[in-house]
Amino acid sequence: MGAILETAELAERLVADELGQTFSLDKSRLYSLINGEQGYTLTLASEHGDVYDLLNESDSKDVARVSDFIVVVTCGWASPLSGDDDDDEVAPSQHPQRRRVRLVVCASRDGMASVLRFQDTPDDTITDEGEARGSLAEAVQSLFF
């Protein structure tokens, strides 16, 4: 396991300590994670109703610049992928097998990792170390470059 994944798992535990069993947030959150003499400190830097607008705020780049890591937290619906390429997929919030999810993304100039926790299995997590693709991953990476 790489250092960024270990940091992401630590960040997710800190978020879980703060939010408990919350799997619905009115606003996505951006935190600064700093590794100091007393260990890691997680500080809420900003909130916004839309995660992409949160990451596009001018202050978000400043947070990334002064932090050891940034942590993005958002909640929503997830559903299984059908495996085909149909563009008319059912929205996750409308899918009969939908599940509430909390996503924690931890990133620095050196990489990104994420931790998912589902409401129906809150003691289990799913991790990803740098394999995430798509618009959210690109928006997080844009804070550093």
DSSP 103-131: EEEEEETTEEEEEEEETTEEEEEEEEES-
| DSSP letter, residue 22 | -
Q: Cα–Cα distance between 85 and 77 in angstroms, integer?
A: 20
pLDDT in single tens digits along all 145 residues of the chain:
579 999 999 999 999 999 999 999 999 999 999 999 999 999 999 999 999 999 999 899 999 999 999 999 999 999 887 766 554 578 888 898 999 999 999 999 999 999 999 999 999 999 999 888 889 999 999 999 8
Q: Cα–Cα distance between 98 and 78 in angstroms, integer?
A: 6
